[in-house]
Amino acid sequence: MTIEYIKDSAVEETLNQQLITLLSACFTKPSDERFKTQRYYNEMPAHRWYIKDSTSNRLVAHLAVHEKHVYHNAKPIVIGGIAEVCVHPEHRGQGYVKQLLEHAHIKMAQLGMQYSILFGRDEVYSSSGYKRVTNFFLMDKSMLMPGTNISAMVRPIPLQGRAWPTSRVELRGLTF
């Protein structure tokens, strides 16, 4: 099986339907109903990686990346927001998430992103270099509220040479 990359803007209808099928098989909570009709949760990501089964030509694994900014001391930091990570239940346990992340990290470095951020489980993502942080705040667009502290996992992008800040970091707008 090979990993394929596509900019989301180039996704055609056949791939769109395959993404919807895979995402709706992976995300089954009531709040995930949206995946029955769309290939994203809150907003369209910029980049996608996927793996197809060579026999059936079905999508079996997927990962999306949003191009975002977070703010530390009011200064923007370019990040990649990892989203819609899923592996079809019949294909789990084969290291597909780790492989997809490796490919995504290379592209993020090429794009000058300093960190990769996701909302996930330690047991899945820590082996790919992600660490849980407690200083991440979600801000609404008005910026009038103090923000909501949310749990996130962060991985510095290789070659960018920066450690994650120890004080407050803000994501303004929608999560990914």
Distance CA 57, CA 10 (A): 19
With cut-offs at 50, 70 and 90, classify the pLDDT of residue 158.
confident
Distance CA 112, CA 91 (A): 32
Written as one letter, the residue type at 141 is: K
Distance CA 166, CA 133 (A): 9
Question: How does pLDDT run across 6-64, given as a tens digit for each residue?
Answer: 999 999 999 999 999 999 999 999 999 999 999 999 999 999 999 999 899 999 999 99
> How many Cβ atoms are within 10 Å of 71's Cβ, its own excluded?
15
Give all domains of the chain, ordered by start, each with its CATH number. 3-172 (3.40.630.30)
Question: How does pLDDT run across 106-128, given as a tens digit for each residue?
Answer: 999 999 999 999 999 999 999 99
Question: Which has the closest alpha carbon to 124: 96, 157, 161, 146?
Answer: 96
With cut-offs at 50, 70 and 90, classify the pLDDT of residue 136.
very high
> How many Cβ atoms are within 10 Å of 124's Cβ, its own excluded?
15
